[in-house]
């Protein structure tokens, strides 16, 4: 079974986000870019499925600028077999990404698509669900455990009230949550091997997808700085502050 894993290039999660002086967006100049953490979890799960013999090939696909090849190389070093880069210099919205992935799925015919539940830059949490709707495939989101058995996947989902177990027929779309696994570090030999693995270069036009944005960013601002706390001596004083100053009672 072939597994398709979409991966996204984002600002490294260890860095502080800075807003551009003109408030037109986030300043990414001279900052480290990395694979989206949820995408790392998806790649790791696909590699584990291959190690168990449940998957035969892993294809990593990314949509972004030329530098996104580095993100794909990271996935290849982790254990993916080959990559596809759909070159797009403009910011891609979730629907456009889902449409491109729909075309990639039609071309590659995978038995399973595993992707992160969201990207840490836009936090949209939409691409997986949109892709499943476009493909008319069953979906299991926020997965904390995945078990494949024949033509069916049993997925434990993290929901507000606890855990929910669902079974979906393959092919299916699964989105990963934080507690699904802990991604491995790519070893130096695997990093060297990844340089020889193939990456196909495509464009949205190759798949007949109009990737023009539908949304316009009006302004980006930093959240207001949090005010310092205050200590109270009695419960009555706490209630008074909550009622008269915070206005929450």
pLDDT number for residue 42: 96
Contacts of 173 (CB under 8 A, 6+ apart): 113, 115, 128, 131, 132, 135, 137, 138, 139, 140
Query: Which one, of 4, 1, 44, 45, lies nearest residue 128 by Cα?
Result: 4
CA pair distance 129, 116, nearest whole angstrom: 11
| Cα distance between residue 58 and residue 218, in whole Å | 39
> 123 and 157 in contact (C-beta within 8 Å)?
no
30: region left, alpha or beta (phi > 0 left; psi from -120 to 50 alpha): left
Beta partners for residue 112, in sequence order: 3, 172
Looking at residue 126, what is its pLDDT? Answer: 94
168 contacts 155 by C-beta, under 8 angstroms: yes
d(CA 55, CA 158): 24
Q: What's the pTM?
A: 0.86
Task: Give the model's pLDDT for residue 139.
Answer: 96
pLDDT reported for residue 195 = 93
The pLDDT value recorded for residue 14 is 86
pLDDT of residue 225: 83
What is the Cα–Cα distance from 172 to 98, expressed in whole angstroms?
Answer: 14
pLDDT for 222 equals: 84
**H helices within the chain, ranges in order?**
37-51, 68-78, 94-108, 127-135, 188-194, 235-241
Domains of the chain, start order: 2-224 (3.40.50.620)
List per-block mean pLDDT (blocks of 10 residues) for the chain, which spans 249 residues. Answer: 96 86 84 93 96 95 94 96 93 92 96 94 92 96 93 92 93 94 93 94 92 86 82 90 81
């Amino acid at each position: 079974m072939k597994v398709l894993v979409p991966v996204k290039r984002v600002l490294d999660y260890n860095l502080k986000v800075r807003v551009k002086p003109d408030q037109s967006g986030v300043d990414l100049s001279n900052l480290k870019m990395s694979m989206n953490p949820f995408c790392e979890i998806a790649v790791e799960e696909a590699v584990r499925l291959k190690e168990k013999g449940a998957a035969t090939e892993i294809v990593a696909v990314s949509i972004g600028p030329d530098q996104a090849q580095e993100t794909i190389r990271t996935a290849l070093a982790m254990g993916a077999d080959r990559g596809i880069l759909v070159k797009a210099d403009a910011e891609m919205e979730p629907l456009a990404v889902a449409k491109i992935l729909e075309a990639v799925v039609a071309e590659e015919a995978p038995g399973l698509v595993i992707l992160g539940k969201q990207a840490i830059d836009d936090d949209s949490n939409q691409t997986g669900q949109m892709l499943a709707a476009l493909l008319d495939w069953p979906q299991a989101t926020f997965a904390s455990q995945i078990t494949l058995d024949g033509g069916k996947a049993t997925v434990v989902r993290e929901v507000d009230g606890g855990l929910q177990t669902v079974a979906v027929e393959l092919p299916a779309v699964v989105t990963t949550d934080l507690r699904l696994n802990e991604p491995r570090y790519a070893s130096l030999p695997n990093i060297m091997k990844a340089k020889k693995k193939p990456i196909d270069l495509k464009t949205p036009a190759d798949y007949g997808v109009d990737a023009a944005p539908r949304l316009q960013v009006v302004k980006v601002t930093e959240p207001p700085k949090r005010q310092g706390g205050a200590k109270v001596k009695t419960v009555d004083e706490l209630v008074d502050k909550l009622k008269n100053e915070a206005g929450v009672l």
